[in-house]
Structure 1
Amino acid sequence: MMTPDTPEKMVVLGKVSSVYGVKGWLKIYSYTEPMDRILEYTEWMLNLNGRWTPVEIDKGRSHGKGMVAHIAGCDDRDQARQYCGAEIGVPEEELPELPDGEYYWYELEGLAVETTAGIKLGKVDHLMSAGASNDVLVVKGDADSFDRQQRLIPYVPDVYVQDIDLEAGRILVEWDPEF
């Protein structure tokens, strides 16, 4: 639910997983790559009970395999607990512009996936990182697709991913539907 002063399109960059320590710090699960890029945004919108609420991040750092951050004015564990489970978002217009041919994951989610032979495979449900290699499109079959199977298609442009057309809402892939 958006408030009148909330931007139209929010992009989720992570979530608050739990409290950290006794001075109001929070453990953060970042979806950004690299993960500490989330700290480049000093103003976050937190989705609390369906409402986007602005907060100012005054401190943050990497911690172990994750991140910790501190919200300005939130100085104790009990106060910080209210933010646990909240999605962290920023207005779409605050994201840096990408070079031609590069996309944010959220732009690909929901796009129809079709083979170069015209066979519909379903829609991109989400993407996942495969570590040092490539990202992977998780494509779920639907009523309009070849079958209802879920497919994991490596996101490798010019090998498997032949074309992305955001306006048409379609990704064209070189992929065997039997695989």
Structure 2
Amino acid sequence: MRRVEIGRIGKSYGMEGGLKFRGEAVVFDLKKVYLEGLGYRAIEEVAELNNEIVLYLTGVQNRQEAERLAGLRVYADPDDLPRLEEGEYYYFELIGRPVFVDGQPFGEVVDVEDGPQDLLIIKARGSSLRAQSKTYMVPLQAPYVHIKADGIYIEAIPGLLE
């Protein structure tokens, strides 16, 4: 099964093995996570403290054990993620989808950049090296971006793909 990255472990928190977590809030809905190189760990508790997420994992009982985990990537199994409403997607579901501009094949989504305005990172198709190395950033929530079962359709507006 392909796991999806949902965040990273930050610094330790407190003396009882708390771990600051930088990533998706979906961690509140999970019972377990996969730690990079270490395997699965059950989640004992997830707390939000001072606008930060703090995880307490089985087997991490003190500050020293927590400090050893700093920087590790955190993954979840897709089947463990909560079901989304119709028309909503997890970012990993968009990566690899074909992109069409004005109905014509254009490229594919290679990443989604999370931020105040989420961006699709699109790698263009083309026969030249220049075309193959070019990437475009398109706002995901823009009214001219339509996600369908067979791909992502973009209505070109002036300056968008230049």
Q: TM-score, normalised by structure 1?
A: 0.73
AA of the residue aligned to 1:29: R
Task: Tell me the distance in 2 between the aligned counterparts of 1:178 and 1:56.
Answer: 44
Please give the alpha-carbon distance, in whole angstroms, between the structure 1 residues aligned to 2:32 and 2:156.
41
Whole-Å separation in 2 of the counterparts to 1:99 and 1:76: 39
Structure 1 residues 59 and 114: alpha-carbon distance in aligned structure 2, compared to 1, 3 A threshold = same
Do 2:136 and 2:161's aligned partners in 1 also have CA atoms closer than 8 Å? no
Distance 1:152 1:75, change over 3 A: same
Percent of pairs identical after alignment? Answer: 23
Does residue 138 (structure 1) correspond to residue 131 (structure 2)? The answer is no
Aligned to 1:173: 154
- Aligned partners of 2:115, 2:75: CA distance in 1, in Å? 24
Structure 1 residue 130, shift from structure 2 partner: 4.1
CA–CA separation in structure 1 for the residues paired with 2:147 and 2:57: 41
Unaligned 5+ residue runs, structure 1? Answer: 1-7
Residue of structure 2 in register with 1:155 after alignment: 140
Instruction: Report matched runs for 1:17-56 at 5 Å.
Output: 17-31=10-24, 35=25, 37-48=26-37, 53-56=39-42
CA contact (8 A) 1:56 1:72 kept: yes
Give the conservation status (yes or no) of the 8 Å contact 2:30–2:81: no
Q: Alpha carbons of 1:130 and 1:46: their partners in 2 closer, same or farther (altered >3 Å)?
A: closer
The CA RMSD over aligned residues, in Å, is 2.6
Provide the rounded CA distance (Å) in 1 between the counterparts of 2:141 and 2:14.
41
Give the conservation status (yes or no) of the 8 Å contact 2:34–2:41: yes
- The code of the aligned residue for 1:39 comes to F
| Structure 2: 5+ residue stretches without partners | none
Q: Describe the superposition over 1:32-68 as per-residue Cα deviations: whole angstroms up to 9, x where unpaired.
A: xxx3x312212112122xx5x1112212211334211
| Letter in structure 2 aligned against 1:124 | V
On the 8 A contact 2:21/2:55 being kept in 1, the answer is yes
1:63 aligns with 2:44: no
Does structure 2 retain, via aligned residues, the 8 Å contact 1:44–1:56?
yes
Query: How far does the alpha carbon of each residue in 1:102-143 deviate from its partner, in whole angstroms, 9 at most, with x for none?
Result: 2111000122222024151x3222223442xx5321223355
Whole-Å separation in 2 of the counterparts to 1:79 and 1:65: 23
Change (3 A) 1:119 1:91: closer
